[in-house]
Amino acid sequence: MSVTRREFLKLTAASAAASAIGSELMVGSAVMGSPAIDWHKSVCRFCGTGCGVMLGTRNGKAVAVKGDRKSTVNRGLLCVKGFYLHKIVHAKNRLLQPLVRKNGTLQPASWDEAMSLVAEKFSAIIKEHGPDAVAFYGSGQGTTEETYIANKLFKGHLSTNNFEGNPRLCMASAVGGYLTSFGADEPVGTYDDIEHAELFLLIGSNTAEAHPVLFDRLVARKKNHPSTKIITIDPRKTPTNKIVDLHLQVIPGYDLAVMHAIARILIKEGYTDEKFISESVTFSDGKKKISYEGYKRFLEKFTPEYAAEKAGIDPQDIVKAARMFGEAKTAMSMWTMGVNQRTRGVWLNNLMHNIHLLTGKLGKPGCDSFSLTGQPNACGGVREGGGLCHLLPGHRKVAVKQHREEIAAIWNVPASNIKPKPGKHTMAMFSAIAAGEIKAAYIMCTNPAHSLPNLNKYLQGLKDCFLVVADSFHPTETTKLADVVLPAAFWGEKEGVYGCTERRSQHMAQAIQPQGQARWDGEILMDLARRLGHGKNFEHFKTPEDVWTEYITTTKGRDMDLTGAPYSRLRKVRGLRWPVPDEKHPGTWHRFTEEDPLFPKEKAKGRRMYFYNKPDGRAVVFARPDKGPEEPVDAEYPLVLSTGRVLEHWHTMTMTGSVKQLVRAVPQPYVEINPEDAKELGFADKDTAIVETRRGELKLMVRVIDRPRKGTIFIPWHWPEKLANLLTTDAIDPGSKEPEYKICAARIRKA
Amino acid sequence: MNRKNLFALIMFPLLFLLLIAYACSSTTTTRKVANQSPVTPAAVSEDEKHLDVDFTISCLECHTEETPEVVADWSAGTHGKVNVGCFVCHGDGEDEYYASPGTDACLSCHDSLATEVAEAQTDETCFTCHDGHKLKFHAEQHGGFGASHPGWLRPDSHIKSTHSPQYTGD
C-alpha cells in the first residue's frame, strides 16, 4: 500500500472538516460573546509596541484575550504571542510558593522564612562590606511602580547605585543616541506618523517578527497607499522582506559607512532642508563643534563605492536608497536591536538621526527617527523611572546635585543617602558578581543567566553570590542558580502602568487574584524594606495607585511630564503620551515643536523646532568614524554570528515556552546557514553542527535557508537548552555600555 | 527512524479506517466522502487531534511540503503576510485541533465585528463567506458575489465596512 503523507493529510483534513461543519465549532465559541466573561483593560505583556488587550476572566480565571479595538496602537489586533496571554497566566511553570536553597536544592518555604533569610543576608553583607556589596537587577517588564519602589529602596535607603535593569542590554544605545543628538531621551514623534509616511527606512529591525503589530500597520499603510516605499538595511532576509522595496543586505557591522554615504548623497543632490539646518542643527565630531562645511568635508570619504565595498553591497543601491529617502516628502526610520546591540550602537543611532536632521524630516506628520523598543515597559519604568545605575526618576541623573536633592525630598531621605557616583552598569555588575565584589543580588522579573552575553564568564559568580530571584516562573536558568526564589504575581494579577515605545503610559487593571502564594513585586520589595528597617517611607503605599501618584510628582516640570496622567484618568483612556502636564492636556504628538506644551516659543523665535534640552536649542549632526565590529572575522573564525528572534517566541521563552501552539510553530532551536555556505561547508538541511566562537560552543540543528547573508550565520536565542549566549561577545559600547550581541566571529563544523 | 516512517507507523490504523471510508464513497467530492464515512466518533476525535504529525517540525514546514497550495493561499492573504500562523486558527494539533475553525479565534483580533457575528444566522461563521486561507470571499473567487450569499446582502453587513483597523491617530 502506498499512500503518501500528503495524500493522507488531504484525506484526514477533508474528513475532519466535514465532520466539524455546522456542529462543534471552536472550543468556547460562546467565549467571546458570553456575558459571563468580565473584560479588563490591559496592555500586552510582550514587546514594547504597547498593544491594548482585553483580558477576559470567568470565576477568577483568565479565559480569553482579545485586542482592544479602542486602542489606537493596535485597533484590536493581536500578534500570535499576545493571542495566548491568558494561557500563560495559568501556565504549568508558574511558581506558586517561595523556594529556599537547603542542602543544595531549592525547597518550598514560607514567605516569612524566605524573606527573613533575604533580609538577614542583605543586612549582614551591607554591614560587613558596605552598600555597594549588594545590587539590584530589574527589568523592562516590571511595572513602573515596581521599579520605582525598588529604586527608592536601593538608591534612596540602602545607598547603593548598583541598580540596573535589562534595558541596558537592549535600549541603552538608543538612549545614548537620543540624548546626544536631540538632548532628551525617547522619540520626537509617535506611531501616528506611520499613517503619514511615504517612505520607511528599517535598519537592524526584523519588524515582521519582533514588532508584528507595527508591521501590520506598515502593511496597512502600503495597502491603502500603494506608493509607500520601504527600504531595509539588514544582513538577513527576514519575513519583513515581504513588503520591502529595496534591501541593502550589508555585512554585519559595516552599516555606519552606508549611513554616512546616504547623508553625503542627500547633501550633494540637494535633498537637504537648509533652512531647518541653519535654524535648528549644529555639527560635531563627537569631541568638539565643527562647521557644516567641516561636516561636508568629513563626508567626502564616504562615496557610495567606499561604503558599498565596506558593506559588501551594490553602490547603486546606496544611491537608490538615498534618493528614495530624499525624494519622499515624508520619511520615517525605525530600528531596534541590530542598531542598538553594537559596540558602536550610540554612533549608529546618531547617524540615523543625522539623515532626518539634514532633510528636516523630523517633528512633522510622517517624519521621525524612531527607535522601536523590545520590552513593554523599558521606556516607562526603566528609562523614565530612572531604573539604571546613573539615573533617578523623571529623566534625572545621580551625578547632578540638584537632581539628587529633588528626589531625596520626595523620598523623604537626606540627600546624602543618594550617592553621586553612578553604580555598576549591567556588565560591570555581573563582572563584580563574578569577582565576588558584589556578594548579594536581587533580580526581579528577568533571566540574566540566559540573557547575558558570554555566559560562561558569569554563571559561576551567580551561583556563588547570595542570589534572590523574584519571578512568576520556575525553573528559569536564573531561578535554578538562586538561593531564594520568590513567587511574583503575574500580568493580570496586579495593577500597574506600562510605558511603551511611543511615550505612551497605559494602565493595566488587576483582573484576578495572584495564584498560589504569589505576591505583587511591590509588596515583596516593601516587605524587604520593612525588614531592613526602612519601612516608614513605604507605609503610605497601600496600592499601586499610591506609588504612581508619588512617582508622577517626580515628573512634574520635567521633559517627560506625566502630571496630567493620574490613575483616575489612565483607567479610562487608552494611555497618554507625555508630556502631558495637566489633566486637560491630550498628550503630545511631536516634541520640540509648537505641539509640545514645553516648547519655549520666546526662545524659539519662529523656528519650527527647538531642542530645549540642548543649551542652544539645536540638535546635533554627528561626524562619527565608521568603526567596524569589535570582533571581525578572521581565518580562524571566518563566519559572522548574529543572534535574534522568531515571531512566536519571546526572549528566554519562560512565557511562550508554556504555550503549546507557539512551541509547535517553532519547535526546535537551530542555526541558519546560507545555501552557498552550506554547499561549501558540506552541510545539508537538518544536519547537526557545532558552532564555535572564542567563548564557547553549541551543538545545533542546521537550517539551510536563504536568509542570512553569505558568510554569516544566525541563531535565535530563545531556547534554554541551547543557550546562544554561550557564544556571544560581552564587548560593550563605550558610551551606552550595551553589549554587541549582534556580531561576533564564529566557525562551524559537523557534529 | 525518519519522519515519514514515524508518520506511517502512528497513522496506520486511522489511515486504514479512512481509506475504507474513501473507498466506500462513490463520488469524488470531499463533502460526500466524509458524509458517507463510517468513521466512528472515537476515530474522529483522534483525527481531530491531528496526531499524524512529526512534532519536531513546524506546521508550516510540513505543510509547505505536503499541502503547498494551502500554504500558497495563506501566504498570498493578509494573514500570511503578517505571519498569523496555522496554529492560531487550527490549534497545536496535539492538545487542540480545529480542522474547521469557528469564529472565536477571529474575534480575538477582529472584535469590531462582534456585533455582526452575534447577529449572524446561527449556522454562519466567518468562513461561510471567507475562504479560510486566502481570506477572500468564496463568491469573489468564483467570479463575483452570488445572490446565494444572503449574508453579504444584509443591510447591516460588515462587508460594507472594512476589516482592517483604521489607524487615525486620535
A584-624 residue pLDDT tens: 999 999 999 999 999 999 999 999 999 999 999 999 999 99
Alpha helices in A394-504 (DSSP H): 401-411, 426-434, 448-451, 459-464
- The per-residue pLDDT for range A305-357, each reduced to its tens digit, is 999 999 999 999 999 999 999 999 999 999 999 999 999 999 999 999 999 99
CATH number reported for the structural domain that contains residue A361 in this entry: 3.40.228.10
Query: What is the per-residue pLDDT for B124?
Result: 75
Nearest CA in chain B to A216: B82
Residue at a domain's end among A312, A342, A371 = A371
Whether residue B102 and residue A16 make contact (CB cut-off 8 A), yes or no, is no
pLDDT at B14 over 80: no
Whether residue B52 and residue A76 make contact (CB cut-off 8 A), yes or no, is no
Which of A15, A22, A29 lies at the smallest CB-CB distance from B37?
Answer: A15
> Does residue A163 share a domain with residue A177?
no
Shortest distance between the Cα of A215 and any Cα of chain B, in A, equals: 7
Counting residues of chain A whose pLDDT is more than 70, the rounded percentage is 96
- The domain of A665 spans 639-750
Grid cell for residue A206: 526584523
- Chain A CB contacts of B103 below 8 Å: 25-26, 29, 32
> Does residue A182 share a domain with residue A44?
no
Query: What is the per-residue pLDDT for B149?
Result: 37
What's the pLDDT band for B130 if we cut at 50, 70, 90? confident
Q: Are A596 and A309 in contact (CB under 8 A)?
A: no
Q: Are A496 and A463 in contact (CB under 8 A)?
A: no
Q: Are A179 and A560 in contact (CB under 8 A)?
A: no
Orientation angle between helical segments A144-151 and A521-531, nearest 10 degrees: 10
Query: What is the per-residue pLDDT for A19?
Result: 32
**What length does chain A have?**
751
Say how far apart CA A194 and CA A201 lie, in whole Å: 12
Shortest distance between the Cα of B145 and any Cα of chain A, in A, equals: 22
Place of cell 559561576: A460
- Does residue A424 belong to any structural domain of this protein? yes
- Which residue, A710, A750, A746, is CA-closest to A726? A746
Between strands A163-165 and A134-138, the pairing is parallel
- Which residue, A510, A622, A392, A33, is CA-closest to B120? A33
> Does residue A362 share a domain with residue A342?
yes
Say which residues have a Cβ less than 8 Å from residue B71's Cβ, sequence separation at least 6.
Answer: B60, B63, B64
Nearest CA in chain A to B87: A661
CATH number reported for the structural domain that contains residue A78 in this entry: 3.30.200.210
> Does residue A260 share a domain with residue A177?
yes
For chain A, what is the domain count?
A: 4
Shortest distance between the Cα of A349 and any Cα of chain B, in A, equals: 26
Give the residue with greater pLDDT, B27 vs A136. A136
Residue A76's alpha-carbon distances to B110, B159, B163, in angstroms, are 6, 18, 11
Say how far apart CA A200 and CA A211 lie, in whole Å: 15
Which of B35, B101, B164 lies at the smallest CB-CB distance from A26?
Answer: B101
- The per-residue pLDDT for range A505-536, each reduced to its tens digit, is 999 999 999 999 999 999 999 999 999 999 99
Which of B19, B22, B111 lies at the smallest CB-CB distance from A69?
Answer: B111
The verdict on whether omega for the bond into residue A475 sits within 30 degrees of 0, i.e. cis, is yes
| Mutation site for A-interface testing, chosen from B83, B96, B161 by largest number of A Cβ within 10 Å | B83
A296 φ/ψ angles, rounded to the nearest 5 degrees: -60, -40
Break chain B into its structural domains and give their ranges. 3-90, 104-160
Across B134-163, average pLDDT:
48
> Does residue A118 share a domain with residue A45?
no
DSSP one-letter code for A514: P
Between strands A289-290 and A281-284, the pairing is antiparallel
Query: What is the per-residue pLDDT for A357?
Result: 98
> Does residue A19 share a domain with residue A122?
no
> Does residue A431 share a domain with residue A502?
yes
CATH number reported for the structural domain that contains residue A707 in this entry: 2.40.40.20
Say which residues have a Cβ less than 8 Å from residue A229's Cβ, sequence separation at least 6.
Answer: A198, A199, A200, A245, A246, A324, A328
Please give the model's pTM, rounded to 2 decimal places: 0.90
Query: What is the per-residue pLDDT for B114?
Result: 73
The secondary structure of chain B in percent helix, strand, coil, rounded to multiples of 5, reads: 55, 0, 45
Task: Please name the helix (run of DSSP H) or strand (run of DSSP E) that holds residue A577, with its range, or none.
Answer: strand A576-577
- Does residue A16 belong to any structural domain of this protein? yes
Which of B33, B52, B55 lies at the smallest CB-CB distance from A14?
Answer: B33
Residue at a domain's end among A512, A539, A566 = A539
Shortest distance between the Cα of A667 and any Cα of chain B, in A, equals: 6
pLDDT at B112 over 80: no
What's the pLDDT band for A18 if we cut at 50, 70, 90? very low
Across A456-460, average pLDDT:
98
Angle at A622 (CA atoms; ends A619, A627), nearest 5 degrees: 150
- Chain A CB contacts of B52 below 8 Å: 5, 8-9, 12
Say which residues have a Cβ less than 8 Å from residue A497's Cβ, sequence separation at least 6.
Answer: A143, A144, A145, A377, A380, A505, A506, A507, A508, A544, A548, A570
- Does residue A614 belong to any structural domain of this protein? no
- Does residue A310 belong to any structural domain of this protein? yes
Grid cell for residue A418: 543618594
| Alpha carbon B53 to chain centroid, angstroms | 17
Nearest CA in chain B to A191: B169
Whether residue B102 and residue A29 make contact (CB cut-off 8 A), yes or no, is yes
Say how far apart CA A622 and CA A605 lie, in whole Å: 25
- Chain A CB contacts of B127 below 8 Å: none
pLDDT at B30 over 70: no
What's the pLDDT band for B26 if we cut at 50, 70, 90? very low
- Does residue A443 belong to any structural domain of this protein? yes
Which of A34-48, A542-556, B137-151 is least confident? B137-151
Between strands A440-444 and A504-508, the pairing is unpaired
- Does residue A518 belong to any structural domain of this protein? yes
Query: What is the per-residue pLDDT for A30?
Result: 54
Say how far apart CA A356 and CA A362 lie, in whole Å: 6
**What length does chain B have?**
170
- Chain B CB contacts of A667 below 8 Å: 55-58
HEC-encoded secondary structure of A324-373: HHHHCCCEEEEECHHHHCCCCHHHHHHHHHHHHHHHCCCCECCEEEEECC
CATH number reported for the structural domain that contains residue A396 in this entry: 3.40.50.740
Whether residue A16 and residue B35 make contact (CB cut-off 8 A), yes or no, is no
Task: Please name the helix (run of DSSP H) or strand (run of DSSP E) that holds residue A469, with its range, or none.
Answer: strand A466-471
Burial of A690 (0-12, 13-18, 19+ CB in 10 A): middle
Say how far apart CA A143 and CA A548 lie, in whole Å: 10
pLDDT at A217 over 50: yes
Which of B15, B39, B102 lies at the smallest CB-CB distance from A8?
Answer: B15
Whether residue B94 and residue A660 make contact (CB cut-off 8 A), yes or no, is yes
| Mutation site for B-interface testing, chosen from A1, A15, A63 by largest number of B Cβ within 10 Å | A15
- Does residue A711 belong to any structural domain of this protein? yes
- Does residue A547 belong to any structural domain of this protein? no
**Is residue A733 left, alpha or beta, with left meaning phi > 0 and alpha meaning psi from -120 to 50?**
beta
> Does residue A403 share a domain with residue A312?
no
Query: What is the per-residue pLDDT for A33?
Result: 66
Say how far apart CA A52 and CA A70 lie, in whole Å: 8
- Which residue, B136, B117, B110, B84, is CA-closest to A74? B110
- The per-residue pLDDT for range A47-87, each reduced to its tens digit, is 999 999 999 999 999 999 999 999 999 999 999 999 999 99
> Does residue A184 share a domain with residue A134?
no
> Does residue A200 share a domain with residue A328?
yes
- Chain B CB contacts of A54 below 8 Å: 111
Which of B93, B99, B169 lies at the smallest CB-CB distance from A72?
Answer: B169
Nearest CA in chain A to B35: A18
- The per-residue pLDDT for range B33-71, each reduced to its tens digit, is 222 222 223 333 445 567 667 778 889 988 999 999 999
Say how far apart CA B1 and CA A287 lie, in whole Å: 64
pLDDT at B20 over 50: no
Whether residue B108 and residue A215 make contact (CB cut-off 8 A), yes or no, is no
Across A132-157, average pLDDT:
98
- Chain A CB contacts of B164 below 8 Å: 220, 223
Q: Please report how many Cα atoms fall inside a 13 Å half-sphere around the Cα of residue A59, on the Cβ side.
A: 0
DSSP one-letter code for A463: H
Other beta carbons within 10 Å of A624: 21
> Does residue A526 share a domain with residue A406?
yes
Name the residues of A annotated as catalytic. 81, 170-171, 337, 374-375
> Does residue A341 share a domain with residue A227?
yes
pLDDT at A15 over 60: no
Q: Does the CA dihedral A519-A524-A526-A530 come out positive or negative?
A: positive
pLDDT at B13 over 80: no
| Alpha carbon A248 to chain centroid, angstroms | 24
What's the pLDDT band for B121 if we cut at 50, 70, 90? low
Query: What is the per-residue pLDDT for B143?
Result: 45
| Mutation site for A-interface testing, chosen from B15, B16, B87 by largest number of A Cβ within 10 Å | B87
Residue at a domain's end among A371, A396, A416 = A371
Across A90-108, average pLDDT:
97
- Reduce the DSSP state of residue A499 to 3 states and report it: strand
pLDDT at A27 over 50: no
pLDDT at B90 over 60: yes
Shortest distance between the Cα of A31 and any Cα of chain B, in A, equals: 7
Other beta carbons within 10 Å of B41: 8
